[in-house]
Amino acid sequence: MSGAKPRIREAIIVEGRYDKNTVMQAVDALVVETGGFSALGDRDRIAFFRLLAEQRGVVILTDGDGAGFVIRGRLKGALPNDHNKVKHAYIPDIFGKERRKSAPSAEGKLGVEGMRREVIVEALRRAGCTFEDGEEQTEPRLTRSGFIALGLSGGKNSAALRAALQRSLGFPEQMSGKALYEALSLMYSERELAELISRISHVPGDQSR
């Protein structure tokens, strides 16, 4: 397979950073990690996945071993029961060992990180992902400096503005400023976020953290 990477509209949820690296080499898409079993109990992270599902759709791509199916099952239970919003991609059973590992997995199967580019693309295609034409130019994602420039950190009313933005986007109230930045940086450009903020009624007062 050669040429530009195919662009996919849905966000792709994978287990870890090595899986993320492999998928990002195969397709142009927003790829997010579960961060392991413990993170699936993190309300902020689950709320973020739900928001992604509602706004752009998600596709779950986990390893084909038992642990991968447990993670898939937990995500399935936490996300909307709507195939248009939550899709499932499955890698084939290929036995072998990833280069970075000293031994094969317990079941001897390659995980997402061990799949070839064309296998990843085909799995996503079979899942019904939305492949875009690639002509549309994507804007750079929000940066930390942009987050500050928009008044969401370090300002007199930053805490109040963050709280209003979290309510507007459906994020949990207790979400930290760091978690909010990480979520927004995956979803918006600085321009897009500025437009969202412009529609929010700002509550005056020194409530910064």
- What order of strands is seen across the sheet that includes strand 86-90? 31-33, 11-14, 58-62, 86-90
Flag whether 207 is in a domain.
no
Q: 59 is written with which tokens? A: 């596709």
Flag whether 108 is in a domain.
yes
Flag whether 93 is in a domain.
yes
| Residue 151 and residue 92 in one domain | no
The conformational region for residue 205 under phi > 0 = left, psi -120 to 50 = alpha, else beta, is left
Per-residue pLDDT, 146 = 93
| 3-class DSSP string for 114-178 | HCCHHHHHHHHHHCCCCEECCCCCCCCCCCHHHHHHCCCCCCCCHHHHHHHHHHHHCCCCCCCHH
Flag whether 208 is in a domain.
no
Flag whether 205 is in a domain.
no
C-alpha gyration radius of the chain: 19
| Residue 26 and residue 118 in one domain | yes
| Residue 123 and residue 153 in one domain | no
The whole domain housing 118 covers 7-132
Mean pLDDT of 125-132: 90
| Residue 42 and residue 124 in one domain | yes
| Residue 121 and residue 167 in one domain | no
pTM value is 0.72
| Residue 175 and residue 75 in one domain | no
* 9-47 per-position pLDDT tens digit: 999 999 999 999 999 999 999 999 998 776 677 888 888
| Residue 83 and residue 125 in one domain | yes
Unique residue bearing structure tokens 């195919």:
6
| Residue 23 and residue 108 in one domain | yes
Burial (0-12, 13-18, 19+ Cβ within 10 Å), 65: middle
* 70-119 per-position pLDDT tens digit: 899 999 999 998 988 999 999 988 877 777 776 666 777 888 999 999 99
Provide the CATH number for the domain around residue 26: 3.40.1360.10
| Residue 22 and residue 115 in one domain | yes
Angle at 131 between CA 125 and CA 133, to 5 degrees: 145
Residue 116 neighbours by CB under 8 Å, 6+ apart: none
Q: How far is CA 158 from CA 137, 141, 193, in A?
A: 31, 20, 14
Distance of CA 58 to the CA centre of its chain: 8
Flag whether 204 is in a domain.
no
* 183-206 per-position pLDDT tens digit: 788 778 889 899 989 888 544 444
Domain count, the chain: 2
| Residue 121 and residue 149 in one domain | no
